């Protein structure tokens, strides 16, 4: 049994209100989480405000960079602890978390620390009305206290994707991890203390959304900016809360991402790429592919090949050899995903594979398992084609022309990501420009240069993260005009 306390002003804070943290592999109890109330959130925000004018606010950029490198090194020194904490919360295979989640979680501190050392601003010389001159130059100043509201699918990676640039820019943070995945955000508090990050710079408050830590944090008048990754409905609520006080938001929200496969694509690479984008992390990836459009001449062959890929996935506990797919994050999410499996059946889908709960050993039977699932035969109006499911599933439909598939892909309120598989370079560039998404991959998926802009169009978000684009949210430009 672990005790996940709030981390406020460099100290561990317990509360009288607790909730369970359970392992989705078998629904076993991992520990209890101390839920923060308004008083704890107030204290955390006050600590973060005080740190802005304390030792943290007085550090030079070089000193902050050195400190954030130390944080990254601290995560790597305790790599196995972070790995086991992450897989206990999420159930994802250790082979995935050890190559993606934990390394990226540490790297996010170094990437943004190094970036802030070299980011340029602007300067202008101007003539003045009296015939003299003036010099205008800009400096970047931290925005202040940042409320960081995190998702549960990539808990450490996506949390540090926000905390890293926020701290690099000189801000302080109050983090509200998902109630499903409290472990690595809490463990990071230990690292912050170990490497000497001043108290109040990094704070963690546990809890839920409405009438809990999430709402108290996003509504707090002394939180100067809010960043959130998660589903669109929650993003809308956060945006409404941020309107009070006219505070900026950075929102990376839901998606219903298309994958487009042309007949001229490298067939095997396209099948492998779509399989990965549909089923990796049990489909719990905002960038995942739930709508697949395949050019008609290769449609039947593609469906058969993707079926084989889905049925070749090995489900099991995170540390077992050869496991390629874990459970969903919780029984509540399992219930949601299964409701879409049932909707697909009711709407007349052809179930190519899956569609239910897999048979698992008795010891795992209480876990949040679902089968990787493929459907065909549904109209574009069907719920599983229109709505984000966030599970290991996809619907495959044929298309005949380039213009047709562009229209199909764009016919959604979302606009986060797309993948295009083709050997025709001209076609690739045309689709890259025509698809209404924040990121379009050509013959790849989840290939990320952390310097590039990342974010969604339409209901998939507001703002961009990555490289200097993150710095634009976490800093404000102050113009200084000097009469010469």
Which residues are known to be catalytic? 252, 286
**From CA 264, how far away is CA 54, in angstroms rounded?**
60
Closest CA to 409 of 290, 247, 272, 260: 260
**From CA 288, how far away is CA 258, in angstroms rounded?**
9
- By CB neighbour count within 10 A (0-12 exposed, 13-18 middle, 19+ buried), where does 426 fall? exposed
What is the number of H-type helices and E-type strands within the chain? 17, 23
**From CA 109, how far away is CA 197, in angstroms rounded?**
13
Element (H, E) at 95: helix 94-97
- Residue 387 in contact with residue 340, Cβ under 8 Å? yes
Strand 414-415, strand 417-421: pairing: unpaired
Identify the DSSP state of 191.
Answer: H
Backbone phi and psi for residue 252, each to the nearest 5 degrees, phi listed first = -110, 110
**From CA 275, how far away is CA 408, in angstroms rounded?**
20
- C-alpha pair distances (Å), 75 with each of 81, 103, 107, 239, 466: 9, 9, 9, 32, 21
Q: Which residue has the tokens 């697909």?
A: 344
DSSP state string for 336-365: HHHHHHHHHHHTT-EEEE--SPPP--GGGT
- C-alpha pair distances (Å), 424 with each of 257, 265, 302, 420, 437: 22, 8, 19, 11, 20
**From CA 456, how far away is CA 418, in angstroms rounded?**
11
Supply angle C-alpha 363, 367, 369, rounded to 5: 115
**From CA 228, how far away is CA 250, in angstroms rounded?**
6
């Amino acid at each position: 049994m672990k005790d996940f306390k709030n981390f406020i002003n460099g100290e561990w804070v317990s509360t009288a209100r607790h909730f369970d943290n359970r392992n989705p592999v078998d629904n076993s109890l991992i520990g209890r989480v101390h839920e923060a109330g308004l008083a704890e959130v107030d204290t955390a925000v006050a600590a973060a405000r005080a740190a802005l004018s304390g030792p943290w606010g007085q550090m030079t950029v070089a000193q902050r960079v050195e400190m954030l490198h130390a944080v990254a090194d601290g995560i790597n020194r305790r790599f196995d602890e972070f790995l086991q904490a992450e897989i206990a919360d999420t159930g994802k295979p250790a082979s995935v978390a050890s190559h993606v989640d934990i390394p990226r979680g540490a790297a996010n501190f170094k990437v943004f620390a190094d970036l802030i050392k070299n980011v340029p601003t602007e300067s202008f010389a101007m003539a003045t009305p009296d015939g003299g001159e003036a010099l205008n130059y800009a400096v970047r100043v931290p925005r202040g206290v940042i409320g960081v509201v995190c998702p549960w699918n990539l808990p450490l990676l996506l949390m540090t994707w926000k905390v890293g640039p926020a701290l690099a820019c000189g801000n302080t943070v109050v983090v509200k991890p998902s109630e499903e995945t409290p472990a690595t955000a809490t463990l990071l508090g230990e690292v912050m203390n170990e490497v000497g990050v001043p108290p109040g710079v990094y704070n963690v408050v546990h809890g839920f959304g409405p009438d809990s830590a999430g709402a108290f944090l996003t509504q707090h008048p002394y939180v100067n900016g809010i960043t959130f990754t998660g589903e669109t409905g929650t993003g809308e609520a956060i945006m409404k809360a941020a309107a009070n006080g006219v505070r900026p938001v950075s929102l990376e929200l839901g998606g219903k991402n298309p994958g487009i496969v042309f007949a001229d694509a490298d067939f095997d690479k396209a099948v492998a790429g779509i399989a990965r984008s549909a089923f990796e992390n049990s489909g719990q990836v905002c960038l995942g592919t739930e709508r697949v459009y395949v050019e008609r001449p290769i449609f039947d062959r593609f469906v058969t090949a993707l079926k084989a890929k889905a049925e070749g996935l090995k489900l099991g506990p995170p540390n077992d050899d050869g496991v390629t797919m874990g459970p969903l994050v919780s029984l509540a999410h399992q219930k949601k995903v299964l409701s879409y499996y049932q909707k697909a059946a009711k709407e007349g889908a052809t179930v190519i594979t899956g569609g239910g709960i897999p048979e698992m050993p008795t010891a795992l039977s209480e876990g949040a398992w679902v089968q990787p699932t493929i459907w065909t035969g549904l109209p574009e109006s069907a719920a599983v084609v229109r709505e984000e499911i966030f599970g290991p599933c996809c619907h495959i439909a044929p298309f005949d022309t380039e213009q047709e598939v562009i229209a199909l892909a764009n016919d959604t309120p979302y606009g986060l990501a797309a993948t295009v598989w083709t050997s025709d370079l001209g076609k690739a560039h045309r689709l890259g420009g025509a698809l209404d998404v924040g990121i379009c991959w050509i013959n790849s998926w989840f290939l990320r240069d952390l310097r590039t802009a990342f974010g969604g169009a339409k209901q998939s978000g507001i703002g961009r993260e990555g490289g200097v684009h993150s710095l634009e949210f976490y800093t404000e430009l102050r113009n200084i005009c000097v009469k010469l």
